Chain A
Amino acid sequence: QVTLRESGPALVKPTQTLTLTCTFSGFSLSTGGMCVSWVRQPPGKALEWLALINWDDDKYYSASLKTRLTISKDTSKNQVVLTMTNMDPVDTATYYCARTLGYRYGYMGLDSWGQGTLVTVSS
């Protein structure tokens, strides 16, 4: 059974750096084809893909947010970490991590998701 869980602060101040951790089980991020993505969703709005890391440690970022994002993995801990710098109130959203299959090798979608964590940016 694949599970993912996001953790991190519920509230951050403007200009601060957000660090979110995705802890997963049921698969290994060292297996070929396996990836983990981060996706966010402002209240009442659409999904926005943010970043992806694959089994080979290749990293991909949203073009519009690339300068603010860093994704990394700790395969031994089954964790993926996302940092987003210079947070702003418009970054208030639910942040999800999701297992992603086959990116650039026969894409099969984001097939398992965490429950999401709401991050509010406010002073």
Chain B
Amino acid sequence: DIQMTQSPSSVSASVGDRVTITCRASQGIRSWLAWYQQKPGKAPNLLIYASSSLQSGVPSRFSGSGSGTDFTLTISSLQPEDFATYFCQEANSLTFGGGTKVEIK
């Protein structure tokens, strides 16, 4: 199976900061990557699919990029409601990354 490695595992940031999270696949997956946001006690919410396609209803401050093995999720200006844990997922064996917790600085 493909392994997905996210970094960092946690990041402390302030409202208004630009935050970048990376996800690395153990083998090439072209652009078949999705990103999810999860808040405590809630189900995950799909943010981005196909590496860079924004899911309907997701704010434009979220963006994704990458192909092959290296991918990034960027939050251009962190908002209070963005403090959460973020997961990547590849589309071959549907493996999730280990998660990145975005915490308040």
Contacts and interface: CB of A to CB of B under 8 A. Distances in A.
Given A103-B91, A108-B50, A48 B43 contact: no
Contact of B43 (A46, A96, A108): A96
Nearest to A37: B94
Nearest to B35: A109
A110 B96 contact: no
A39 B59 CA distance: 25
Interface residues on B, range: 20 to 34
Contacts of A111: 46, 55
Contacts of A106: 50
A115 interface: yes
B40 to A, nearest CB: 10
Interface string A98-111: 10000100111111
A25 to B, nearest CB: 16
B34 A110 contact: yes
Chain A, interface residues (CB within 8 Å), range: 20 to 34
Given A107-B50, A110-B34, A111-B46, A47 B96 contact: yes
Contact of B55 (A47, A63, A109): A109
A97 to B, nearest CB: 10
A46 B98 contact: yes
Contacts of A109: 34, 36, 46, 48-49, 55, 89
Nearest to B6: A46
B87 interface: yes
Nearest to B93: A63
B53 to A, nearest CB: 8
B87 A46 contact: yes
Contacts of A96: 43-44
A52 interface: yes
Contact of B1 (A52, A63, A115): A63
A113 interface: yes
19 contacts: A46-B87, A47-B36, A47-B38, A47-B44, A47-B96, A52-B94, A60-B94, A62-B93, A63-B93, A96-B43, A96-B44, A107-B50, A107-B91, A108-B50, A110-B34, A110-B44, A110-B89, A111-B55, A113-B45
